[in-house]
Amino acid sequence: MVGLILKDLMSIQRQIKAQAFMLIFFLFISIFMQQGLILFTLIIFIVTFQAITALTYDEQSNWDKYANTLPISKGDIILSKYILSVLLMLFGLILALPIVFIIHRFTNTWASAEFFLTFNLLVALAFCMLALLLPIYIKFGSIKGRMFLIALCFIPSIIFNLLKDYLPDITLTLSNLKQYMFFAPFAGLLILWLSSLISTAIYKRKEF
């Protein structure tokens, strides 16, 4: 298991280095706009979604054909991708939180209650998106998975615009749910765990 995770980390390290320059650019934007949340959101989603990048590299290199000749269970191969995503999430939090705190501290835009709410929502959303995308990438591959990711970015906004007159005020809804937001990341982890079971079942039926 550790070897699988290290293999993925080595395969995505060049991608992470390339995206680090983009994060530096957005760091200056966040400081200029006095909005540390921009940087926080980018870091969380960039590092977490590297697990999908690892899946794409595996597909391009035909890693799965080789991996299935090794004494490694298919469940461990899939579980390593999910553990990688959680580890990268923790790394992103360790990297992002101090920077966001400093930006808010020196720009006097700190609102701990609002940030705590947004923090929990973003972490839960990242877990839920991974829970949805990883089985799709495993089942259909990176090309169709990328098409679904693009659709995932646009379809919710289209549906929201069509139904916004029939939906309750989101701000009011979130304020009512604020006391339960502490559980949002744990709910996201639960959904991610259920997703891993689905992905394992898909992978075991897949032919290479």
Residue 39: which H helix or E strand, with range? helix 36-48
- Where is pLDDT greater, at 197 or 98? 197
Mean of the per-residue pLDDT values of the chain: 76
- Where is pLDDT greater, at 111 or 207? 207
Residue among 91, 182, 86 nearest 127 (CA): 86
| pLDDT reading at 41 higher than 70 | yes
Domain-wise residue ranges, the chain = 1-205
Of 39-48, 161-170, 175-184, the one with minimum mean pLDDT is 161-170
Q: What is the tens place of the pLDDT at every residue in 58-79? A: 888 888 778 777 788 888 888 8
The Cα diameter of the chain in Å comes to 57
Q: 164 Cβ partners below 8 Å, 6+ apart?
A: none
For 165, other C-beta atoms within 10 Å of its C-beta total 6
Q: How many residues does the chain have?
A: 208
Average of per-residue pLDDT across 81-102: 81
What is the pLDDT, as a whole number, of residue 57? Answer: 83
What is the pLDDT, as a whole number, of residue 179? Answer: 66
pLDDT band of 42, cuts 50, 70, 90: confident
| pLDDT reading at 112 higher than 80 | no
Q: What is the rounded distance in angstroms from the CA atom of residue 127 to the CA atom of residue 108?
A: 30
Average of per-residue pLDDT across 175-184: 68
What is the pLDDT, as a whole number, of residue 113? Answer: 55
Determine phi and psi for 69, rounding to 5 degrees: -95, -5
pLDDT band of 198, cuts 50, 70, 90: very high
pLDDT band of 156, cuts 50, 70, 90: low
Average of per-residue pLDDT across 35-48: 73
